[in-house]
Amino acid sequence: MRRLASVSVLLISVFTSHSLLADCAAILQHEMPALRSKDTVDLCERYAGKPLLIVNTASFCGFTPQFKGLEAVYQRYRGQGLEILGVPSNDFKQEAAEVEKVADVCYVNYGVTFAMTDPQKITGVNAHPLYRQLTDAAGQAPGWNFHKYLIDREGQVVGNFASQVAPDDPALVKAIELAL
């Protein structure tokens, strides 16, 4: 009897996981290690059905103060469903080598409360699969730190914003509001 119950639980788990993946856009079918944590960020589990702004970040870049603006946008729109995912990267040689330092910049210096991942490759042949998909969908790879991709509730890339576009830029805000 105990064995039958275990098999039933396993089958339910498999079918539930399959159903969740079927309801999750392909671009979100990734997991990434969370910054300074043993946890992972399961994009399907956390972001399916929600508008999502994905931003590659760096601790020692002229655009690093955009963390403050990103946090303000997150606080303004998270009640309406907006999520933000920060993905640190050293692809442009401006990220700290130590994960602890990356976390300090995000969490201590800028008070970031949205999800952050461990540093990832975001460009070239070794780019994380998420970033390869974002590049393909938008037709543009990040050219520098703080490049932003906006994904709508259906998992479609609906915006692609260069580093120079501040988080409070009217074009980005309008795109976010449309995605909500």
**pLDDT tens across 51-96, in order?**
999 999 999 999 999 999 999 999 999 999 999 999 999 999 999 9
The verdict on residue 14 lying in a domain is no
Alpha-carbon dihedral sign for residues 135, 132, 147, 160: positive
The verdict on residue 12 lying in a domain is no
**CATH code of residue 54:** 3.40.30.10
The verdict on residue 66 lying in a domain is yes
pLDDT band at 9 (very low <50, low <70, confident <90, very high): very low
How far is residue 112's CA from residue 100's CA, in Å, rounded to a whole number? 14
pLDDT band at 23 (very low <50, low <70, confident <90, very high): confident
- Domain of 85? 25-179
pLDDT at 4 over 70: no
pLDDT tens for each residue of 110-149: 999 999 999 999 999 999 999 999 999 999 999 999 999 9
The verdict on residue 13 lying in a domain is no
Known catalytic membership, residue 106: no
The verdict on residue 172 lying in a domain is yes
Number of structural domains the chain divides into: 1
The verdict on residue 147 lying in a domain is yes
Residue 166 tokens read as 């501040």
With beta carbons less than 8 A apart as the criterion, state whether 129 and 32 touch.
no
- Considering only the C-alpha atoms of the chain, give the largest distance between any 2 of them, rounded to a whole number of Å: 63
State whether residue 10 is helix, strand or coil. helix
Radius of gyration of the chain (CA): 17
pLDDT tens for each residue of 24-40: 999 999 999 999 999 99
The per-residue pLDDT for 20 is: 46
The verdict on residue 173 lying in a domain is yes
pTM: 0.88
